[in-house]
Amino acid sequence: MKFVRYLHEGQTLTGLAIDGSIYPVQADLAEIIRGDKRIEPAQASAEGVKETEVRWLPCIPGGGKIICVGLNYKKHAEEAGLPVPATPILFNKFENALAAHGEEVTLGTAAAEYDYEAELGVVIGKRAKNVSKDEALGYVFGYCSINDLSARDLQNRTSQWMLGKIMDGFCPAGPYLVTADEVGDPNELQISLTRNGELKQNSNTRDMIFRVDEIIAYVSRYMTLEPGDLLLTGTPEGVVAGYPPEERDWLKPGDRTAVTIEKLGTLETVFKGE
């Protein structure tokens, strides 16, 4: 199933996306992820609305952890001029970073070197602590498209990347949260990003250094993962920072990006000035 969160006629709703329309369900997405309420397609309202008629909300309810993995594609590590990591590099974002499909994200004056990163998002569906790699995917509720927006000048100001990752709207997520049963193997998905219609990133999650099951097992060794927690799994090569300095064309107001992941749909983001 493809779950969405959206605003329609002043109401915040959860729905199922089916063939270009959204059908509301009588449950909050956080309840569904936790397993407090089970939803089947037949339970959706018979009256839907066109996707073009709603205002999207982030496909993640919020309130949980956002844990990110850095340099998780070999070619991305190489373009960054950094060694391929021996263990996952972890950093975090916060709820203020969540943004919706189609939402305008502000590129403020606090930074200058704004960059995009197409990523596979993994939403946890069951409490996970010290889980094995073999059982890890059984703890996943679903997957979504993410743009891990980054301010490289802030990211590289110190040895800690967090400052360049946590600005408002810096984690667009959506449009859909697709249940794990519909996605199948998350380690075999095409992933791409366009900027103003031009292809900039084009890869497959099979090229990840640490696969989704490995990431879940690793993180759960050190912290308990709860339903609704979001894991970002890294970006492939093609980011602005990977170009020679004289060729770097940082994101600017008026730009549009589109992250497309196989089976998960396309996440569009528009950028504006402060």
Q: Are residues 17 and 109 in the same domain?
A: no
78 lies in the same domain as 108: yes
Contact 59, 174 (CB under 8 A): yes
The first and second tokens of residue 149, run together, are: 């927006």
pLDDT for the residue numbered 40: 79
Which CATH number belongs to the domain containing residue 34 in this structure? 2.30.30.370
Where is the domain boundary, 41, 57, 73? 57
Same domain, 176 and 229: yes
Same domain, 77 and 155: yes
Residue-number span of the structural domain to which 148 is assigned: 58-273
Same structural domain for residues 33 and 70?
no
- From first to last of the 274 residues of the chain, give the pLDDT tens digit: 999 999 988 889 999 999 999 999 989 999 999 999 888 777 676 788 999 999 999 999 989 999 999 999 998 989 888 889 999 999 999 999 999 999 999 999 999 999 999 999 999 999 999 999 999 999 999 999 999 999 999 999 999 999 999 999 999 999 999 999 999 999 999 999 999 999 999 999 999 999 999 999 999 999 999 999 999 999 999 999 999 999 999 999 999 999 999 999 999 999 999 9
The residue assigned the tokens 């969160």 is: 5
Task: Answer yes or no: pTM beyond 0.75.
Answer: yes
Instruction: Kindly state whether residues 234 and 254 are assigned to the same domain.
Output: yes
Domain count, the chain: 2
* Stated length of the chain: 274
How far apart are the C-alpha atoms of 80 and 127, rounded to whole Å? 34
Residues 6+ apart with CB under 8 A from 177: 2, 3, 4, 29, 59, 60, 123, 141, 142, 143, 144
On whether both 135 and 218 belong to a single domain, the answer is yes
